[in-house]
Amino acid sequence: MRDFVGYAGVLLFGLAGVTMFLIVREVLPLLSPEDQITLAIYGAPRGRRGSGQAIINAWNEHASSFPQSKKRLMVISFVVAGILTFLSYPLWHTFVK
């Protein structure tokens, strides 16, 4: 059961990552050239200056360009579900015994 919960949590975080990738891919042509370069470089180090701000800009651009899109809700839902999955197993294991 513990392995299943772990795999489910990893799957949920993976789905959040894929959905965030789809959001970035959708708004990449709409971003500033600096943000495009920051997000388009494959294998760029995570500590690269401005990479977090580029993702925030992509999120905000997606919110303004596609207000009816459900992808942002899906990312948030997958992240919250993944966190709850990892946190709920120890509680469930404690109270079932």
How much of the chain is helix, strand and coil, in % rounded to 5?
A: 80, 0, 20
Whether 94 has a pLDDT exceeding 90, the answer reads no
What is the pLDDT, as a whole number, of residue 74?
97
78 or 54, greater pLDDT: 78
Q: What is the pTM of this model?
A: 0.82
**Averaged confidence pLDDT in the chain:** 88
What is the pLDDT, as a whole number, of residue 50?
66
Domain ranges of the chain: 2-96
Whether 69 has a pLDDT exceeding 80, the answer reads yes
Give the mean pLDDT of 69-89: 94
CA 38/CA 54 separation, integer angstroms: 7
Whether 85 has a pLDDT exceeding 70, the answer reads yes
Q: How many CA atoms lie within 13 A of 23 on its CB side?
A: 28
What is the pLDDT, as a whole number, of residue 52?
83
Which one, of 78, 84, 10, lies nearest residue 92 by Cα?
Answer: 84
CA 18/CA 40 separation, integer angstroms: 15
CA 2/CA 60 separation, integer angstroms: 37
pLDDT tens profile 24-35: 999 999 999 988
